[in-house]
Amino acid sequence: MKITGKVIKILPAQSGVNAAGNQWQKIEFVVEEMAANYPQSVCLIAFNDKVSQIATIPLGTVVNVEFDLRTREYNGRYYNDCRFFRFVADEPMAVSPQAQAPMQQQVQQQPAMQYSGFQAQPQNTQPQNNNLPF
C-alpha cells in the first residue's frame, strides 16, 4: 500500500530482545494524508535498520510511503500494524526565512484595493467586556 502525506509526529525509538535472544529496535511515526478532503493520519512502524532513516526526518516533510499491513492474533483478539518498508521524502513543508522575504516584499508592493461605498472602521485594540455568554 502507498500513502502520500507529511510527517506530523515521530515517537521515541524503542528497543529490546526477542524470545530468540535477538536485539530489535522500532520507531513509530505519524503521517497525515494530504490527498483526501478530510485528512487522515496513519501511524507507521519502522524496524531495525529503518529506524535511523525515520529518526532523521524533519517534521513537516512530505513523504511517499510504501507499507505492508500485518495482522496478528493474541488471546482471541486481532491487532494490526502498518509496517513501513520504503519512502521517498520531498522537501520539508516549512518555508525558509530566505523564501519568506520575497513573498513579504511582493505583498507589500501590491496596491491597496478600494471599494466604493465601503469605509473600513478602525479596529479597537482594547478588549471589550460585553457580558455575552460566547
Average pLDDT score over residue span 29-49: 86
Contact (Cβ atoms closer than 8 angstroms) between residue 29 and residue 10? yes
Say how far apart CA 4 and CA 128 lie, in whole Å: 45
Range 90-99 average pLDDT: 49
Q: What percent of the chain shows pLDDT beyond 70?
A: 66
Give the pLDDT score at 132.
58
Percent of the chain with pLDDT over 90: 22
Assess whether pLDDT exceeds 50 at residue 133. yes
CB 13 within 8 A of CB 19: no
Instruction: Find out whether 64 and 47 touch, Cβ atoms under 8 Å.
Output: no
Query: In Å, what is the CA distance from 88 to each residue of 6, 111, 120?
Result: 11, 41, 49
Q: pLDDT class for 9, splitting at 50, 70, 90? A: very high
What are the structural domains of the chain? 2-92 (2.40.50.140)
- Over residues 68-88, the mean pLDDT reads 89
C-alpha cell, 34: 494530504
Average pLDDT, the chain: 75
Half-sphere exposure of 53 (CA within 13 A, CB side): 14
